[in-house]
Every structure is written in structure tokens, then in C-alpha cells.
């Protein structure tokens, strides 16, 4: 059945949603908030939705956002970072075991202590990869509000707590914040190849009904192109930023009809699951530092269950080894990206068929495909 043309009301609601998301993301970035773009857009749209605004992001637009996010995430891979994978085999192997243990422990905590469904618990426990987790959670119709609170709270605590903790124990020197640089557009032809191949891979995996196929397919193609050095071009900063803001808008629009008691319950799950995850990660940090002569500050940031781009920037700001940290976070990201979609399908029912959403529907029923 062909989708109906968007109405004027839907266009206005979509424009309002994106405007609120952009303003929130910009403000949070300017004040230096952790993962500012996605956190700010998500929280600002969530606040407006809680206030009763009819916010929405149509399914076709959310699919475009998923592809752009995948392309941007894949660009993290570079030949230097991939070479780093082979330079730290023991520590990366320990990290893989730590990731499995951390995910299993946190998933079990959310399921057994807070009663979350297994799929939602898995998405809430996923270490990092907030954008991808949100896309998968939307596709599976999981509880996006709970998952978003747990994931965003983890990023906030890590980004604020790690520098404070390391400085307190004298394990690293603080310095001026050094933002992640971008090479920009090497050439329009390279950018066209990047977008074309990544989009084709995204459409192919979606046609194969791979969970989160749009974003994962684009990410995989982009990572291969950048990691092998075949492509140097990246998305313009404004396109990558718009995609991240879009993910925040999609997620934040699901925060309607949430009472304070529910928010408090989610906050308890966020703090408890963070405590479980960081305890497991800390145990493996101690194991690795006892095995190898590595700097503990490097290992702490490399093993932290946070977003890889945030942790790499944090490593730069703390004068740590960005190759060591980047190689470990890329390794974990690859493991999470491959396993979480498959585990999500194993732990519960497959994603429901896509339905056409009318703008007059209640926010709880407006759950577009990610």
C-alpha cells in the first residue's frame, strides 16, 4: 500500500520537532555537555513532548537519518586505527571478553531487578553505540524512553567522571579540550561514491531483513571504504551533525505521557546498570594492567562503556594515546554492531511490519521504523 502524502499538519509538526532538536543539540554542544548533539536534541524534544507538543519524525525521514548516521560512524575507521587492532592483540582480546561479561551482567540486572523485557534490557546494556541502539530499539518497538535514559546517563557519568577520577588519582594531566578534526570533503566524486555504495549496502541489508540493516549496512560499507584507505571523503560536518540530531529527535518524540514515577524508575535503572557495567569494566582493567605494562589511564578510557567518538575525544583532551583508545573502541564497536542485532532477534520476537503512521495518532502509537 502506497504511503499517503504528508499533510500540512505533519510537515509543521516535523519542522517543529527538528527545530527543537537542533536548538537543544546546539545549546548542549556550546556548554560542553557530554555527547551534546544527541543528548541535547533528545532531551529538548523529550521535554517538549512531555509538555504536550505533537512532535513526530516521519518514517521516510528516519530511514534517511539512519543511513547518514551509519556513514558517519563508519568514517571512524582509518588505516591507522585498523593497524592498531593488530598492535594490541592481548588487550583487545581481554576487551572482547570484558564486553561480553559487561553486556551479560547489565542485561541480567535490568531484566531481573527492574523487570525489563530481554530485548529492551539488551539494548539498555549495550556499551556505547547510542545512535545504533536507538535505531534498533525503534525497529523492535522497545521502550525507547527507558533505553535512552539509561544510555544517555551512562555517557554523561563517564564523560564527567573519568577525567575527574583520573585527575584525582594523579593518573593523567588535564589540558585544553581538543575537538575531533575532520578532513572535510576530499572530492565530490569520492563523496558520491561513499554515499552511493553505503546506501546500496544499507538497502541490501534492509531487504535481507537484517535488524537495523539501514544503519548497519551503511556503517559497514563506510568502514571498509575508509579503513582500507579507498576513500578519504567524509560527510560534511553539517550533514553528520544533522543526522545525529535527527536520531535524538526520533527518540525524544517518544517521551510523551511519561509520569514522574516512571522517570524515577528509569533513573534507578540507569544508575544501577551503570554501577554494574563500570564494576565489570573496572575488574577487567585491573586484570589487564596486572598482565601488561600499559598505562592505566589509557586502559580506563579504552575499556569505558561509552560512545567511541566521545571516548576518543576524551583521550585527546587528557593527553592519552588516541590510537590505543581508538583501536579498542573500534574493536568493541564492531563486536557490538555484529552481535546486538542478532541477539535482539534471539531474545524476542522479530520487528513488526512497518505501518503507515497518521499525524493524528497518539505519541505512544507513533513509532516509526529506525
Give 10-residue mean pLDDT values along the chain (370 residues). Answer: 68 91 90 73 84 83 88 78 75 94 96 92 85 78 83 77 77 45 62 93 86 78 86 85 85 69 81 94 94 89 80 70 79 83 75 46 40
What is the spatial distance between Cα 66 and Cα 70, in angstroms, rounded to a whole number?
Answer: 6
Q: Is 58 part of any domain?
A: no
Q: Is residue 203 part of a domain?
A: no
Look at residue 356 and tell me if it is in a domain: no
pTM: 0.63
Is residue 153 in a domain? yes
Question: Count of CB atoms within 10 A of residue 3's CB?
Answer: 11
Q: How many domains does the chain have?
A: 1
Q: Tell me if 27 sits within 8 A of 37, measured CB to CB.
A: no
Residue 112 lies in a domain: yes
Residue 316: which domain range?
A: 13-50+79-182+234-347
Tally Cβ neighbours within 10 Å of residue 133.
29
Distance CA 254, CA 234 (A): 31
Q: If we measure between CA atoms, which residue out of 148, 199, 160, 119 comes closest to residue 45?
A: 148
pLDDT for position 20: 95
- The SS3 of residue 50 is helix
The predicted pLDDT at position 180 comes to: 39
- Is residue 78 helix, strand or coil? coil
**Inside any domain, residue 334:** yes
Is 354 inside any structural domain?
no
360 belongs to a structural domain = no
Amino acid at each position: 500500500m502506497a504511503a499517503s502524502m504528508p499533510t500540512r499538519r505533519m510537515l509543521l509538526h516535523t519542522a517543529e520537532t527538528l527545530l527543537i532538536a537542533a536548538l537543544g543539540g546546539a545549546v548542549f554542544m556550546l556548554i560542553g555537555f557530554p555527547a551534546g548533539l544527541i543528548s541535547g536534541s533528545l532531551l529538548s524534544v523529550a521535554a517538549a513532548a512531555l509538555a504536550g507538543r505533537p512532535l513526530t519524525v516521519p518514517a521516510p525521514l528516519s530511514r534517511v537519518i539512519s543511513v547518514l548516521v551509519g556513514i558517519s560512524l563508519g568514517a571512524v575507521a582509518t588505516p591507522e586505527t585498523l593497524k592498531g587492532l593488530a598492535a594490541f592483540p592481548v588487550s583487545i582480546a581481554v576487551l572482547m571478553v570484558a564486553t561480553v561479561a559487561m553486556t551479560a551482567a547489565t542485561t541480567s540486572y535490568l531484566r531481573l531487578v527492574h523487570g525489563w523485557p530481554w530485548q529492551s534490557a539488551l539494548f539498555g546494556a549495550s556499551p556505547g553505540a547510542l545512535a545504533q541502539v536507538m535505531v534498533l530499539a525503534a525497529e523492535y518497538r522497545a521502550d525507547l524512553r527507558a533505553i535512552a535514559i539509561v544510555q544517555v546517563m551512562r555517557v554523561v557519568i563517564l564523560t564527567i567522571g573519568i577525567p575527574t577520577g583520573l585527575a584525582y588519582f594523579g593518573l593523567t594531566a588535564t589540558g585544553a579540550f581538543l575537538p575531533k578534526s575532520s578532513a572535510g570533503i576530499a572530492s565530490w566524486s569520492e563523496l558520491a561514491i561513499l554515499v552511493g555504495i553505503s546506501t546500496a549496502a544499507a538497502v541490501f541489508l534492509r531487504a535481507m531483513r537484517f535488524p537495523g540493516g539501514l544503519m548497519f549496512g551503511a556503517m559497514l560499507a563506510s568502514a571498509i571504504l575508509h579503513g582500507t584507505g579507498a576513500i578519504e571523503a567524509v560527510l560534511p560536518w553539517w550533514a553528520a551533525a544533522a543526522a545525529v540530531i535527527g536520531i535524538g529527535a526520533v527518540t525524544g518524540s517518544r517521551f510523551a505521557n511519561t509520569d514522574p514515577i516512571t522517570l524515577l524508575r528509569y533513573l534507578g535503572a540507569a544508575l544501577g546498570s551503570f554501577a554494574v557495567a563500570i564494576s565489570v569494566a573496572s575488574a577487567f582493567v585491573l586484570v589487564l594492567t596486572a598482565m601488561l605494562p600499559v598505562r592505566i589511564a589509557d586502559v580506563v578510557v579504552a575499556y569505558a562503556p561509552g560512545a567511541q567518538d566521545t571516548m576518543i575525544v576524551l583521550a585527546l583532551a587528557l593527553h592519552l594515546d588516541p590510537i590505543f583508545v581508538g583501536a579498542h573502541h573500534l574493536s568493541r564497536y564492531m563486536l557490538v554492531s555484529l552481535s546486538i542485532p542478532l541477539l535482539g532477534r534471539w531474545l524476542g520476537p522479530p520487528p513488526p511490519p512497518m505501518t503507515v503512521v497518521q499525524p493524528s495518532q497518539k505519541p505512544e502509537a507513533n513509532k516509526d521504523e529506525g
